[in-house]
Chains A and B, each alone.
Chain A
C-alpha cells in the first residue's frame, strides 16, 4: 500500500523500491498512531479513571494499572521491533546497488547539477533507462547539498567533499524533477529527470554521445563527423549543402560574409566548431549551432585531423 498516496496525495511510486519504502513508512505511521492512541487513552484513564479512596488504597490499587501498562508495553515493544526490523531490511536494499548497475556521475557546478554518463557525455538533465538499475555517484562539493527525487523515494545527502552513492531503478517512464534541499538563504537547485521508454535510453545516449575517445585522431574525427550530425549540412566532396563542403578544405582561402578573406587553419576550424557565428562564410546563413560543451576536446582535434586527411 502506498503511504504517500494515503497521506500526501497520490505521489507516484516510480522506482523499484518505492513501494517497500512506502510500506516501511506506513508501518512506522501505524506504529506512531497506535502509540498516540495508547497514550491518549492512558491519559484519559489517568484523568477520568477510578480513583483510590485513600492513600493506602491508592498504593494497594496500583496493581491493576500496572498490569495494563505491562500488557500495552509488551504489544508496543513487539510492534516497534517489527517496524525497526522491516525498516532495516528495506534500508539495506535501498543502500546496496545491484551488480552491473549503470554508473552515472552527479556533480554540482555553480549551483546547478551536471550528469556524466558512461560514454563521457555530460548533460544538465538526468536521463534514466527503464527497469535497469542505475548507480548515482554524487561528487563532493564546496557546499553540502542533498539530491532528492520524491517519486523515486530517493534522497542522498552529500557533506564536505566526500562523494556519496545511491542507486535507483526507474519503473515508470516520464518526466520528473530532482531537487536539492539546501541551507537557508541559498537557492533550491533543480534538475529535469527523464525516464525513457524501453530501449529509449540507449538510443538517446547513442545520439548524444560521441565515438570512443581512444581511437586514432583521424578515425575519431571521421566517427565524430558521422555521429554528431555534421553530415546533414557538410558534404565531404565539396558539394554545397546548408554549409560549405569539406573537399580540399585546407587548400583554399575562404571569403567571409563581411568581405574579408582568410586562410583555413586549425584555429579557424576550432573556432567554427565552438563559436560558428564568429566568422560566417559568404553566401551561407549563420545557422550552425555551437558545439561548445557538447564535443570533447579530443573530438575537436580529431575533426581537424580528419579534415586535413581529406586534402
Chain B
C-alpha cells in the first residue's frame, strides 16, 4: 500500500484540538506538529554541534592544540550531537510524522505521552544549555571514570540533561510501541508492516531498554561526585571498569537503535514511489530483529565479562561480526528492486546509506581478529560512530525532504538536496579518512600529540564541507517550510 493510499489524517483526527493548549506548540499533542518541534530542536542542536565540530577540525592546525582533545569543546560537541541530534532525530521527527500513516492509524496511540516525551526532552535541552554556559563538562561524552569524578568541571547540569533526554526518549519509545501494538490489535491477524515501521519498533525496544541504564549511570556518577557513594570507588580500576561497563550497556543499544531506524528509513526512501510502504519481507524482518538482538547481546557481553577483559573482547567481537550478516541483508534489500527517481530525498537517502555502510565497514576493521586488537584505542576507534552519526542525521534530513510537500506545505528543492548529498559523502570521507590512516600508523585516540603533514588540513577541509552539506540540506527543509507558510498565507 502506498503512502497516499493511507488514511488521510485531518488535524482533528490527529488530536490537534484535543487539548486546550493545542494552539501553543509546546503543549500540542498533534503528532505532526510535534514532529516539527522535534525537528526544530534537533536542527538547532545540529547547528551548535557542527560549529563545535568545525572548531575541533580547525584546532589541530593551531600550534598549541593540546587542550582541545580532552577538553570541554570535545565533550560539548559529542553531547550535543549524540544526545540531541543522532538519538532523537529519526524517532522524534520521522516517527511522529510518518509512523501513524505507515500503520494505518490516525494518530500516535498515546498523544499526551508523546507530548510529554518532547516536553521532558526540551527540559533536557535546557539543562544542556545551562551546562554549556555555567559549567561545561570536560570528560568526554562517555564520562570516563575516574576522571569525571575528580575533574573540576562539574558535570551535574549535563548529567541532569542526560537523565531528562533519556526519560523523553523512553516516553517516545513507549508511544511507538503502543502505536504498533494498537495497529496489531486493529489488524486482527492480518498484520503486515513496512520495513520502516519494523525498524522504528525495533529501535524503540532498544531505546526503552537503554534509557533506564543511562538514568542509573548518571545517578551513580552524580552521587559519587556529590557525596562519595563508594559504589564506584573513585580513582580505582574497578570504578573505571564498572562505569565503562554500565555506560556501554546504554551506549551500544542506543546507538544501534539510531542506526536501525536510519537503515529502515533509507530502505523506505530508496524504494520507488509505488513500492514505498509495502509490507516487509520475512527476510528483512528477521534481519532487523537479529540486529537488535545482537546489540543487546553485545552489551550483555560487556556486562558479564567486564569492560575490556579478554573474554568480553572476544565475545563482543564475535557478536559484532555476527551482526554484520543481518546488516548486509538489510543493505542488500535496498538494491533488490527497480530504481526510483533521483530526487533530493533519494539522493540524500543514498548518501545516508553509504555513510552507514562506511561506518559498519570501519567498525568491522576494529573487530576483525588480529588487526582489530591492534587498532582498538587508536584514532580509528572514533570513526565508526562519526560515519554512523552523520548517516543517521543525513537519513533524517532525507526523510524530511520526502515529507516536505505534505508536511511543510511545499517541496524541498531538488538541486540543493542533490548537491548536499554529494558533499556529504565527499566531506565525510575527507573529515574522517585521515583518522583511519593515522590509526593504522598507531596514533592513539585522544592523545594530545601535535599533528603534522597534510592530514589535519584534509580533515579540516572535510569537516567544513561536511558541515556545509548538512547545513545546506537543513536549510533546504527550512526553505520548504517558509515557502509552505507563504503559500498558506496566500
Q: A: which residues have CB within 8 A of B? A: 3-4, 7-9, 11, 20-21, 24-25, 28-29, 31-32, 35-36, 39-40, 42-52, 54-55, 58-59, 61-62, 65-66, 68-69, 72-73, 76, 80, 83-84, 87-88, 90-91, 94, 140-144, 146, 148, 150, 153-155, 157, 159-162, 164, 179, 181, 183-186, 188
Measured in the bound complex, the distance between the Cα atoms of B339 and A66 in whole Å is 12
3 pairs of A and B residues whose beta carbons are closest in the complex: A150-B442, A8-B441, A91-B369
Residues of B within 8 A of A29 (CB): 365
| A17, B447: Cα distance in complex, Å | 26
CB distance from B387 to the nearest CB of A (A): 11
Main secondary structure of the interface of A (DSSP, over half): helix
| A158 and chain B: residue at smallest CB distance | B308
How far does the alpha carbon of A36 sit from the alpha carbon of B449 in the complex, in Å? 31
Tell me if B237 is interfacial: C-beta within 8 Å of chain A.
yes
- B369 contacts which chain A residues (CB < 8 A)? 24, 84, 87-88, 90-91
> Quick one: which of B330-370 are within 8 Å of A by CB?
331-332, 334-342, 346-347, 350, 353-354, 357-358, 361-362, 364-365, 368-370
- Asked if B324 CB lies within 8 Å of chain A CBs, one says yes
Please tell me which one of the listed residues A11, A45, A91 contacts residue B335 in the complex, with CB atoms under 8 A apart: A45
**Pairs A–B under 8 Å by Cβ, sample size 24:** A7-B436, A9-B437, A24-B370, A25-B374, A39-B357, A40-B354, A42-B334, A43-B350, A46-B270, A47-B346, A58-B338, A91-B373, A142-B237, A143-B240, A157-B308, A160-B238, A160-B241, A162-B309, A184-B70, A184-B139, A184-B144, A185-B70, A185-B138, A185-B139
B 304-348 contacts with A by CB, 8 A: 306-310, 313, 321, 324, 328, 331-332, 334-342, 346-347
Q: Is the CB of B357 within 8 A of A36?
A: yes
* A51-B272, A143-B237, A185-B139 given; A159·B309 CB < 8 A: yes
Cα-based distance from A226 to B70 in the complex (angstroms): 52
CB contacts (< 8 Å) of B449 on chain A: these are 188
B-to-A contact residues, CB < 8 Å:
69-70, 138-140, 144, 146-147, 151, 235-238, 240-241, 270, 272, 274-275, 306-310, 313, 321, 324, 328, 331-332, 334-342, 346-347, 350, 353-354, 357-358, 361-362, 364-365, 368-378, 436-438, 440-442, 444-449
Let me know if B442 and A148 touch, CB within 8 A. yes
B364: contacting residue among A32, A69, A91, CB under 8 A? A32
User: Is B338's CB under 8 angstroms from A50's CB?
Assistant: yes
List the A residue with the shortest CB-CB distance to B69.
Answer: A184
Contacts of A61 in B (CB 8 A): 338
Decide yes or no: A43 and B377 within 8 Å by CB, A159-B309, A185-B147 being known contacts.
Answer: no
CB atoms of A36 and B358 under 8 A apart:
yes
Taking CB atoms, residues of chain B closer than 8 Å to A164 are 310
Of B358, B442, B449, chain A has the most CB atoms within 10 Å of the CB of B442
Q: Which residue of the partner chain, among A46, A84, A94, A186, contacts B339 with CB atoms under 8 Å?
A: A46
Contact, CB under 8 Å: B340 / A87:
no
B140 partner, pick from A39, A40, A184, beta carbons under 8 A:
A184
**CB pair A155 B374 closer than 8 Å:** yes
Given A8-B441, A11-B441, A45-B335, A155:B377 Cβ within 8 A: yes
Cβ-defined contact, B338 with A62, below 8 A: yes
CB distance from B29 to the nearest CB of A (A): 36
Q: Considering the chains assembled together, what is the distance between the CA atoms of A154 and B342 in angstroms?
A: 47
Whether A48 contacts B342 by the Cβ 8 Å rule is yes
A69 x B336 contact (CB < 8 A): yes
- Cα–Cα distance between A28 and B308 once the two chains are bound (Å): 23
User: For residue B341, which residue of chain A has the nearest CB?
Assistant: A51
The distance in angstroms between the C-alpha atoms of A160 and B342, with both chains bound, is 53
Which residue, A8, A31, A72, has most C-beta atoms of chain B within 10 A? A8
Question: How far is A35 from B354 in the complex, measured between Cα atoms in Å?
Answer: 10
Q: Is the pair A9, B274 in contact by a Cβ cutoff of 8 Å?
A: no
Is A3 a contact partner of B440 (Cβ separation < 8 A)? Answer: yes
Which residues of chain A come closer than 8 Å to B440, judged between CB atoms? 3-4, 7-8, 11, 25
Q: Is the beta-carbon distance between B241 and A144 smaller than 8 angstroms?
A: yes
The answer to whether A43 touches B337, judged by C-beta atoms less than 8 angstroms apart, is no
B350: A residues at CB distance < 8 A: 43-44, 46-47
User: Which residues on B sit within 8 Å (CB–CB) of A50?
Assistant: 338-339
When distances are taken between beta carbons in the complex, the residues of chain B under 8 Å from A181 are 377-378, 444-445, 447
Q: Given A25-B440, A88-B369, A155-B376, does the pair A62, B336 have CB atoms closer than 8 Å?
A: yes
Q: Are B370 and A90 in contact (CB-based, < 8 A)?
A: yes
Per the bound structure, the CA–CA distance linking A59 and B281 in Å amounts to: 13
Contacts A8-B438, A29-B365, A155-B377; is A46 near B447 (CB within 8 Å)?
A: no
A247, B459: Cα distance in complex, Å: 72
A76 proximity list for chain B (CB < 8 A): 328
Q: Give the Cβ gap from A156 to chain B, nearest Cβ, in Å.
A: 8
Measured between C-beta atoms, what is the minimum distance from B294 to chain A in Å? 16
